[in-house]
Structure 1
């Protein structure tokens, strides 16, 4: 355990095997993505509040799948933490890091629904958050494997693998399967003032 977070000399950098500790991964690597979605996402929400919603919510299969994946991404940090807590392998910082992770993903889900309710395509804010999170999860994967070698391949490890797959799925969907709409997303405040919600193809 010391090589992951227990020893302060190894808590915030590479382990003896050359990989980042999961403390560094959760707090610094993933933490940057959370700060990004909370700050830049809040700006996105502010621009969307000035755009009227459409009369009929444009439901689609791709939106439903994204909602499902984002919902699971919002729950998985707490599921992983619960598994580690049950095994007695959790760390104190996870009491804050895991709920923060869940909140960040649920916040991105809220932004997605705000965009679709206005029949807008996902703009760069959400897509960049999803992609950056997938890259962060990829960087953290070797540490998760090393931790499992020390603590055992239990439910926490398999939940982490499922969590990683969800990261990849939402990143691919954000790049490949955006919401189909005639409307260009209002990226800047100057566009919001003149934005017009037209007919949808969805």
Structure 2
């Protein structure tokens, strides 16, 4: 009789262990799905807000400037909105880079893909500086032209899927090639001059 009780006890323990594992893996799968969805939202936010939406906004601003259907105060309002969007793009891409850094093959290598978030942050800071310190409206106009051309290159050459893949090496290489395209035309732009000196000095 005791042997039967022991067998039943062992069976019950095994069933509990199996059920625990099933629940654990179900929860783990659910958490991974939530994490993947959150990461996709991060990528989508800096891609859409930092590139696509900002490009549409600055394109509209430049059209109004060319047609002389706006004034400096209105332009200032739009540019301040753009700096806010760039700040958000910098923040979300910085968080996303934590995922990219996890895929670095050499774990002893202290590296990151900070140049992605710094790209948006540099534009945000430089543009805000122009708005606050430059009285010459022509400087504002040039910044608007530069920004549209920079974002047009980004819009035409950025593949969101590369970022969704979340592979450090792939993103690092891809971003550098993308920056080369911008550097060819805008290495001296006030919006990115300090950025290129920081990340690609003698390297592009």
TM-score range, shorter chain: 0.3 to 0.5
Q: Which of 1 and 2 has greater Rg?
A: 2
- Where is the helix percentage greater, Structure 1 or Structure 2? 2
- With normalisation by structure 2, the TM-score equals 0.35
